Structure 1
C-alpha cells in the first residue's frame, strides 16, 4: 500500500539558507530511488523558516531504505544544529 510522508523542518532563522540548500540536495537522489513515487520540497508562505517535504513511497520498506541511504544521512548531518524542529508524519493514503 502506498505510504505518504509529510516532513516539516523548521530552520533556525540564521541558518535558513543552509537548511534550504541541504534539503534541495536530497530531492534528486531521493526521486531516483526505487519505490519513490513523489518527493517535493515546499516552503511555508507564512513562516519563511519552515520547509515541508511531501513524499509518497511504494510502501514502508522503500521508505525505510530511503532513510538508510547516504544522501539521507548527509542531510541529517547538514541539518544538525541548524533546525529548531523536525516532524515526520507517516500517512496511509485513503483516497
Structure 2
C-alpha cells in the first residue's frame, strides 16, 4: 500500500493577473520536482475560465510536503500569490483509499 500524499491546489487570479499566475506556477515546476520527496508537480489551466488554475502534486510523505512549504521558491510564490489571487488558494490533501 502506498502512503503517497496527493495535493490539489486551486487558484483564482484577480482580473488582469491571469498570465502572471500561469508564469509563477510554471516557475515552481522545476525546483519542486528537484526536491527529494516530490513525485509529481503539474499545473493545469481551466480552458473555460482563464482566471483559474490548479496544481496536482504528489509527495512521498507529509514531511516532504512540509519541507516544500519551507523552501525559498515556495515562500516567494506564496508572497506573489497574496498579491495576485482574488481569494485564498484552496488546498486539498488526498491519500490513497485502501483496497
Q: TM-score range by the shorter chain?
A: over 0.9
- Give the Å deviation of 1:81: 2.0
Higher-Rg member (1/2): 2
In the other structure, the counterpart of 2:50 is 48
In the other structure, the counterpart of 1:87 is 90
Gaps of 5+ in 2: none
* 2:47 match: secondary structure: coil
- Give the Å deviation of 1:13: 2.0
4+ residue runs over 2 A deviation: none
Cα distance between partner residues in 2 of 1:73 and 1:81: 13
Gaps of 5+ in 1: none
RMSD: 1.1
In the other structure, the counterpart of 1:20 is 22
Aligned residues: 95
Cα distance between partner residues in 2 of 1:61 and 1:81: 28
- Give the Å deviation of 1:63: 0.3
String of CA shifts for 1:29-66, please: whole Å, max 9, x gaps: 00010000111010012211001000000010000000
Q: Taking structure 2 as the reference length, what is the TM-score of the superposition?
A: 0.91
